[in-house]
Amino acid sequence: MKKILSKIIFITLSLPLLVSAQPLNFGNTFTISSGADGYGRPRIALTNNQPIIIWRKDSSPKTIRATKWDGTNFTTPYDITLAGVLPSSWDGPEIATKGDTVYIVFASTATTQSSIMLIRSFDGGNTFSDTIRVSENNPSHKFRMGNIKIDQNGHPIVSYMQYLPNWTEPKQMVNRSITYGDSFIGSAEGSFSAPGEPCDCCKSSLILDNNDIYLLFRNNINNERNSYISKSTDGGQTFNLVTDLDDYDWNVNGCPATGPLGVVNEDSLLIVRRSGASGNDEIVYSNSNKSDLNYSYTRNIDPIAGKIQDYPDLTLNGDTIFIAWQDNRNNIPDCFFSYSTNGVENLSLGNTFTDTLVTGAKLNPDLVYKNNNIHLVYNDNGSNSIKYVRGSFGNISYIYEQQNKQELFYNFDLLGRKTKKPSFLFKK
């Protein structure tokens, strides 16, 4: 009886260490755009499983540009907005795709009040429509920092910030179309129930789950700049339920520059964001219940004391998750990523994916994952260009991090901090 019991105990303790994953291999780095073609804040999406990349061209004439993968290479960059549209140099475009449908939103300074505009394509990004106004045509307000998702029926839903003409009294708004972007039904205030006011320089984001819409935004209560989530159960007409996502208050007299982002993860929401509440500017993630928005944990990925981590992005498919961010741990900004093929609890420490042949800052990472491939873009300020790299998975192996020739696994302390312990060495 004692022998049986000891075996059971041994197996139970050993199972968490046998975590399998696939090694990630990166291909060649492509220079997407440089110099006169522009290189401002790239975004990436997939149309018919092939990447399409957009960015802001800040030199005159200001436009939004794009390129697509043609099967062997990326096409020559082409303008998808007219010269007179004047996309904002302060803000950047956002993209959402579904099959052949492509929606892009951006802030335009062509109108007196600064407006949120949309362009669309129904042929995979080969041709685009004229601009369509999303924000209200109201001279008493200004608008910027748009973001977009596509609902299950193929219609666009857009979030953005609304201000008074002097850029005060910010509000997070959500507007949607039921006509594939031909027109929009009228905005609802997504931050209505939150105390204080939204952080006026941090972009919001959206999560869609059937008819439920979740708005993620950074809030501001006397410079306490925590991340919040609000929920609509009526398709974006009203947002009533709102929750503070942070365990500790982050007080900062300045702009964090980014807000939270999230994805649906079965019956919960996985949310990633920048936080400095611990004393380190780090990327943290949390798990929130879809129904009541209560969260069960908040954890960091790979904090580095005295360094700044910002501009996170994430994607998830089943148990596979990728998180990318900007990080100055090497005393100059670079782009890092963490991933797991076995759920969020097994996320790796940060690794760079940028081109090491060019020195200088690497900024603004963006990513998308599908069909066993991770697609990443970023600004390479050392060469004044946009870079693209693709990673793919190889054969199944044990998941481990190599550090001092030891195989490692991760634990978390009571404060959600990741700790490392040498594992038992298992023979393959």
In sequence order, what are the residues at sequence separation of 6 or more whose Cβ sits closer than 8 angstroms to the Cβ of residue 5? none
How many helices, marked H, and strands, marked E, lie in the chain? 1, 34
Report residue 140 as tokens: 């008493």
- Contact (Cβ atoms closer than 8 angstroms) between residue 309 and residue 292: no
Question: CA of 189: how far to CAs of 62, 105, 158, 198, in Å?
Answer: 31, 18, 12, 11
Exposed e or buried b per residue across 315-336, where buried means at least 16 C-beta atoms within 10 angstroms of its C-beta? bbeeebbbbbbbbbbeeebbbb
DSSP of 156-186, one letter per residue?
EEEEEEEE-TTS-S-EEEEEE-SSTTS----
pLDDT tens, residue by residue, 111-167:
777 899 999 999 999 999 999 999 999 889 999 999 999 999 999 999 999 999 999
Could you give the domains of the chain? 19-41+122-394 (2.120.10.10)
In sequence order, what are the residues at sequence separation of 6 or more whose Cβ sits closer than 8 angstroms to the Cβ of residue 410? 345, 346, 347, 418, 419, 420
Task: At 247, give phi and psi (nearest 5°).
Answer: -70, -40
pLDDT tens, residue by residue, 186-224:
999 999 989 999 999 999 999 999 999 999 999 999 999
Q: Can you give the pLDDT of all 428 residues of the chain as single tens digits?
A: 433 333 333 333 333 333 445 678 999 999 999 998 999 999 999 999 999 999 999 998 999 999 999 999 999 999 999 988 989 877 889 999 999 999 999 999 887 778 999 999 999 999 999 999 999 998 899 999 999 999 999 999 999 999 999 999 999 999 999 999 999 999 999 999 899 999 999 999 999 999 999 999 999 999 999 999 999 999 999 998 999 999 889 999 888 889 999 999 999 999 999 999 988 899 999 999 999 999 888 899 999 999 999 999 999 999 999 999 999 999 999 999 999 999 998 999 999 999 999 999 999 999 999 999 999 999 999 999 999 999 998 643 332 333 333 333 334 444 444 444 333 333 33
pTM of the model: 0.86
* CA-wise closest residue to 159 among 104, 119, 208, 204: 204
DSSP of 82-96, one letter per residue?
-GGG-B-SSS--EEE
State the maximum Cα–Cα separation within the chain, in Å, rounded to a whole number. Answer: 82
